[in-house]
Structure 1
């Protein structure tokens, strides 16, 4: 009797073919994985270097980070290789990828896989169809990329200067009017600045459900009208009158540390706690999420269709899902990234690894972070940032 398709898929996800995995391990030995990842965060860079030492020792696989200023750099390289007929031995083995670029690569057939279900550590993930590990910016993952860190949009403020931070998008406008020049956001060409706009859009949109579908001319104009009205009022109150913006979140954090602004933002709920630990922010900085919830997603890694070292890339992706690796990444003295693993799937020893991690007054709990708001469809981000640039950078 044939099993129903759903049952068959569930069995596949629950019981990876370990014999096949051993073949992957054997083929990966001696490979160097060129991991293309955003290089703007030193904690992340140091973590990737640590991954190299670990997988080198355990599996004979080396990791070489290719530091990107924009994920599109790696995607463009893969597109160029395909156009040139280079269908194997490609220069990119693993990409820390974001939703719009994942959608682009998936639509163009530029991805290796599906491979996630074949990794032994997939058993620690919630891979149900609607889970955060199975959907990326509303796009079904379908095993073509693997989770590695949890992101959630938060604000950091210096409690020595701000008694009560704004807890809604409308409250931000009122606060910034009362405290001109003490708040700003990164350039909208940077994902952090774009996320700030999306966070505001979700709260201000007449019908936020349309954001889960591809953007159209009609839905865009009607949905963003309240956003532009709000931003027109906000912009003159921003740092330097909203005429210029910090390049990225790292620059914004430095501005908070220097007392140039009072509130910054991050896509990592533990970033402020980790920065305090490193002496990069005052001990009075605290992290919070807006009362109505905040945008959250899982960061993924993907393997291009023509990766020269696809086996090594799978070994690295699997290692990133080891409970000990995830606990190490969540340590605020290391990187502070919340784990992508499903706690219900962890054994007692694995749970103990997380329970033993250091804490901080600046480190929010999951309860503090509140509801997770779904990312809009990737097409909204592209359209939104283009429209913002046209309106405000003429």
Structure 2
């Protein structure tokens, strides 16, 4: 290397060294995946079933959340999942001893993915252990249980978030934006159809003691919740009708098919269907006096498809649980405010409406809905 080349090389090195402090936040602290090093929400998954498998796989692409703990009643699952997701044995718990997470600094939050009737007691135990709670929907099987969960998490000063993955789905959010910006005009009608033919008659979803109900609790809640964020109002009344074709499969307290209608303060109405006995029902339709929006499929794992009076929706698909867990990490770690709420109060509102729907089915009479007022 001649003098001129050496001088040029030294000058370049000096310039690069001068720039290092400026480049560091962008490059030097990036992780192997190219993400910036920043706080990660360390999550223990509770209930290692089919849906937890989907969550766990999706979380491998998260930027702000990672799996650091496991809770299950099946030792084999703890062993296999621990190996797959690199969770050390000290961070694996069963349903009897998971209160010990209180003393585990590797865990910030627990994602409860167990049968509906277990959410209440498990949420309260996690809150008492001082960890944040992410709970699958429906958050509980009654309003009373939901209230106790909200109160327990407030008392423990931990977050309670409900697994409303559609609140972070891009096409859903685009329709929400259009409605909020008055691009569809005054909303007058919403239709939500949620259904499939359920299989194994011995599964927990058809057990009243574990599910707290039937199709309405499992998939009808998507239409209940969707009606609220699509219309942009809270319903004030409901009428409903239950249809049951097999009392052997759908025993007392386990609904097969429910049609329900919601009324809103503006005069808008919703017509919805929840069923465990009809396939190909996964559609939302929103009508305003200047436009419409439609999603079909609307709540499946994706990709969601949609169109509006302005044309097709083209937002890219990302695994819903990846988006959900990254967003929830930002809510917990940085107090971010989501476009559509996912906190315990949001889940509690749905429970009020679910109970009103069941009462309307039982009595045959219209039920008035009085939702709790937000805390000030």
Fold equivalence (TM over 0.5): no
Higher relative contact order (CA 8 A, sep 6+): 1
Structure of higher CA gyration radius: 2
TM-score, normalised to structure 1, is 0.29
More helix by proportion, 1 or 2? Answer: 1
More strand by proportion, 1 or 2? Answer: 2
